[in-house]
Amino acid sequence: MFCLCADEFEGGRCETDKAAQCYEGVGLYYRGTVSRSARGRTCEQWDSDTRERFMSSDVNEGRHNHCRNLLFRRRPWCQVRRNQRLVKEYCHIPRCGSESLPASPPPAATAPAPPAAASTCGQRSRRKQIKIVGGTVATAEAHPWVAAIFWRSESGEKVFRCGGSLISDCWVLSAAHCFPHGSHDKERRFSVVLGRNALNESDPTAEQRFRVEKIIVHDGFDDSEGNFNNDIALLKLRARGGKCAEESRTVKAVCLPPPRQSLQPGVACEIAGYGKEKQALWYRSQYLREARVNLLADDVCRHKDYYENMISDNMFCAGRPDWSQDACEGDSGGPLVCEVGGRLFQFGVISWGDGCAKEYRPGVYSRVTNYNGWIGEKTGLTSVAAGAAFPQNL
C-alpha cells in the first residue's frame, strides 16, 4: 500500500504543509518549508542528534533545513552560520492573522549587583552534580532551599507528605493540595526537614529540623475541576531559641520574583524533589533528584492536544521537548526555579499533571508571581512584593 497526499502536503505521513505561510501559537505545529532566518541567512541542516531526539515524525525524519520550533521558543527558528559559528536565529515567518513578524524578544541584560541590603537568597553553595522522572541524583548543596515535609500518623509513623521551598528563615512555600484539611490540618503532626539528601538517611551536620507552627492554605484553593486552582500554601516554622532556619552550605532561602514577572517560553528551569522516578513505581525516590524542563507558552498548554481549559491564569506548564523529564507523584509542593542574573528565583510550585513524562501532558505549576501580595500579607515579609534581589533591567 502507498498513500497519495492531498494537494499542498507531502511527507511519509503527509505531515508537511508545502503552502504554509504562517504559524499559530508559538509554531510547535509549523511544518512549512521556509529555510531562511529573519536576517536573511540560509538555515543549516538539522544535525543527526536533533533529528533523532525531536524530529522522527517530521518530513524525511528531519533531514532538511526547514524552520521548526523544537525547544518551546517564541516562534520557529533554525541554526545559521555567523562568523563561522552555528547560532540560533528566528525565521522569517509571520504569525497567522498578523501582517507583520512578531517582535524579537529583548536581549538578556546583564544583571546589576544586588542592592547593598539584599539577602543572599537563590545562591548555591555548590553547583549541581553533572552526572523526578528522567532526572539525576542531586545534593542539598545544589538545592539548599528544598524542604521535605513529613506527617505523623495516628500510630506515630513519620510519613513523607510533600516537598516545599524555604523562602525566608521561618517560612516554607508548598502546595495547597498537600494539606487535605486545609488550614485546619493539625500543625503538631507536621514537621519540616531542610538540607536532606535522602529520605531514609539523616545527617545531623547538614540538616535542620523544625516543627510547624502554622499552616496557611490559600482560601481560593479549588479542585472542583480537577485542576488544583490556587494550589499554594505556607508553613510557618516553629522557632527554637528565637531562631528558625540558619543559613549554611545546605540550607538557604530561594528568591521570589516580582509580581506578574514572567519569562519567555523555552527558558530552561529546574525542578527538584523526592518523588517517583517513574509513574508506575509503587515507591518514591529515596534521594533528592533534579531535572531540567522548558517553560511552555500559555496558548500551547491550552491547546486541545494538551490541557485545554483546565489551565487557569494561576498556572503555567513546563516540560521537555522529548517528554523525557518531568515532576511526578511525591514532588508536589516543590520548587521550579529559574536562573536570572546569577541567582535562582522560584517561579513555580509543583502542582499537578496527567501522568509523569507523558507526551503532550507537561507538568503544571502554580504561578508564584500571582501570589506576591498574598505571601506578603500572610508572612509579613516586605521584600516579597518587590522581588528581593531581582535584576531591575530585564
Q: Provide DSSP, 121-156.
A: TT--SSPPP---BS-EE--TTTSTTEEEEEEE-TT-
Please, which residues have CB within 8 angstroms of residue 272's CB and are 6 or more apart in sequence? 132, 138, 142, 143, 146, 163, 288, 289, 290, 291, 334, 335
Q: Are 181 and 266 in contact (CB under 8 A)?
A: no
Residues 207, 301 within the same domain: yes
Q: Residue 194, SS3?
A: strand
Residues 76, 143 within the same domain: no
Q: Are 350 and 368 in contact (CB under 8 A)?
A: no
Residue 61 resides in a domain: yes
Burial class (CB in 10 A: 0-12, 13-18, 19+), 37: buried
Q: What single DSSP character describes residue 112?
A: P
Residues 157, 85 within the same domain: no
Residues 188, 264 within the same domain: yes
So what's the pLDDT on residue 280? 42
Q: What single DSSP character describes residue 270?
A: E
Q: Which CATH number goes with the domain that contains 178?
A: 2.40.10.10
Query: What's the total number of domains in the chain?
Result: 2
User: Which of the following is catalytic: 332, 351, 366, 383?
Assistant: 332
Q: Are 169 and 244 in contact (CB under 8 A)?
A: yes
Q: How many CB atoms lie within 10 A of CB 40?
A: 9
Provide the β-strand partners of residue 34.
Answer: none
Q: Are 230 and 365 in contact (CB under 8 A)?
A: no
Provide the residue range defining the domain that includes 170: 136-386
**Does residue 177 have an active-site annotation?**
yes
Grid coordinates representing 234 are 505556607
Residues 218, 144 within the same domain: yes
So what's the pLDDT on residue 187? 92
Q: Are 78 and 65 in contact (CB under 8 A)?
A: yes
Residues 167, 20 within the same domain: no
Q: For cell 516579597, name the residue.
A: 384
Grid coordinates representing 194 are 531542610
User: Which of the following is catalytic: 64, 66, 143, 177?
Assistant: 177
Residues 43, 149 within the same domain: no
Q: Residue 236, SS3?
A: strand
Residue 119 resides in a domain: no
Grid coordinates representing 302 are 491550552
For residue 388, how far is the Cα from the chain centroid? 20
Residue 272 resides in a domain: yes
So what's the pLDDT on residue 285? 54
Residue 219 resides in a domain: yes
Residue 360 resides in a domain: yes
Q: How far apart are CA 344 and CA 166, in angstroms?
A: 12
Residues 250, 314 within the same domain: yes
So what's the pLDDT on residue 12? 60
Q: How far apart are CA 333 and CA 317, in angstroms?
A: 15
For residue 79, how far is the Cα from the chain centroid? 25
So what's the pLDDT on residue 3? 62
**Does residue 231 have an active-site annotation?**
yes
Q: How far apart are CA 227 and CA 306, in angstroms?
A: 13
Q: Domain end: 64, 93, 122, which one?
A: 93
Q: Domain end: 39, 60, 93, which one?
A: 93
Q: Are 317 and 307 in contact (CB under 8 A)?
A: yes
Q: Residue 37, SS3?
A: strand
Amino acid occupying residue 282 = W
User: Which of the following is catalytic: 231, 298, 326, 331?
Assistant: 231
Query: 199-210: string of b/e by CB count within 10 Å (b at 16+)?
Result: beeeeeebbbbb
Q: Which CATH number goes with the domain that contains 24?
A: 2.40.20.10
Q: Residue 3, SS3?
A: coil
Residue 116 resides in a domain: no
Query: 291-318: string of b/e by CB count within 10 Å (b at 16+)?
Result: bbbbbbbbebbbbeebbeebbbebbbbb
In angstroms, the Cα distances linking 268 to 177, 264, 284, 294, 338 are: 26, 10, 25, 4, 7
So what's the pLDDT on residue 325? 60
Residues 57, 170 within the same domain: no
Residues 321, 215 within the same domain: yes
For every one of its 394 residues, what pLDDT tens digit does the chain have, with 9 covering 90 and above?
556 665 556 666 665 555 578 888 778 778 889 999 999 999 999 998 888 877 877 888 889 999 998 877 778 999 999 988 999 999 989 888 754 443 434 333 333 334 334 467 988 875 443 334 444 677 889 999 999 999 998 888 888 999 999 999 999 999 999 998 887 888 999 999 999 988 888 888 899 999 999 999 999 999 888 789 999 999 999 999 899 999 999 999 999 999 888 888 989 999 998 865 544 433 445 678 888 899 999 999 999 989 999 999 999 999 887 766 656 655 789 999 999 988 999 999 999 988 776 788 899 999 999 999 999 999 998 766 556 666 654 4
Length of the chain: 394
Residue 160 resides in a domain: yes
Task: Bin 294: left if φ > 0, else alpha if -120 < ψ < 50, else beta.
Answer: beta
Question: Is-above-0.85 flag for pTM?
Answer: no
Q: Domain end: 63, 93, 123, which one?
A: 93
Residues 161, 29 within the same domain: no
Q: How far apart are CA 289 and CA 143, in angstroms?
A: 10
Residue 328 resides in a domain: yes
Residues 164, 76 within the same domain: no
